[in-house]
Chain A
Amino acid sequence: GENVEQHPSTLSVQEGDSAVIKCTYSDSASNYFPWYKQELGKRPQLIIDIRSNVGEKKDQRIAVTLNKTAKHFSLHITETQPEDSAVYFCAASTRNTPLVFGKGTRLSVIA
């Protein structure tokens, strides 16, 4: 089955700096790669996703890149703000299988 590795487990950045979180996956059949943000005490919520036919996707300060050959994908957050502080999860799945999540990255943005 799918295995998703996520790094780093914790990340601290100064407000205004960029943050990058990286994930690798094992199943070459995986074709959907979402990122979820979980604030303290809240449920995980989708912030951006990418499908295997796309190499990069951007939404305001958030971007995701995908390298299918290397089986890795990354989340980039620019101009970080204190409200970006949360746990971020990457995930992967094929068309018909449940999402498998990475172990999460706790991002702290220091004002």
Chain B
Amino acid sequence: DTAVSQTPKYLVTQMGNDKSIKCEQNLGHDTMYWYKQDSKKFLKIMFSYNNKELIINETVPNRFSPKSPDKAHLNLHINSLELGDSAVYFCASSHLGSGANVLTFGAGSRLTVL
């Protein structure tokens, strides 16, 4: 039933490891996003995918790579994790171009890098 679901909800890992966070939406939206929320609660966009094409990539290190097998899924893969990657990562989706870019967020994935 969940509109935007992401897994895992919590992820604790060591520096240098590689990890992935998965996201799926069942709203029929054409665009999906990853936002990073740091300890100060700032919500910063990382990526968005529209019809399986990357349409924006803010200055995110290339250790982060989004992968979208289809328009209902947008996974986030992170290589060589660093302490500063610790944050809550939110997946979201919307129907871009509708005139009201209403985002539906997933529940968030809290990543802790030790």
Contacts and interface: CB of A to CB of B under 8 A. Distances in A.
Ranked 6 nearest A-B pairs via Cβ: A43-B105, A101-B43, A93-B101, A98-B48, A104-B41, A98-B45
Interface of B: 31, 33, 35, 40-45, 48, 56, 90, 96-97, 99-103, 105-108
Given A43-B90, A97-B101, 14 more contacts: A32-B101, A43-B105, A51-B100, A87-B41, A98-B96, A98-B101, A99-B45, A99-B101, A100-B45, A101-B43, A101-B44, A103-B40, A103-B41, A104-B42
Interface in A70-97: 87, 89, 93, 95-97
Contacts of B42: 101, 103-104
Contacts of B44: 101
Interface in A17-49: 31-32, 34, 36, 38, 42-46, 49
Interface of A: 31-32, 34, 36, 38, 42-46, 49, 51, 87, 89, 93, 95-101, 103-104, 106
Which secondary structure characterizes the binding site on chain A?
A: strand
8 contacts: A42-B107, A43-B107, A44-B43, A49-B102, A93-B101, A98-B56, A99-B45, A104-B41
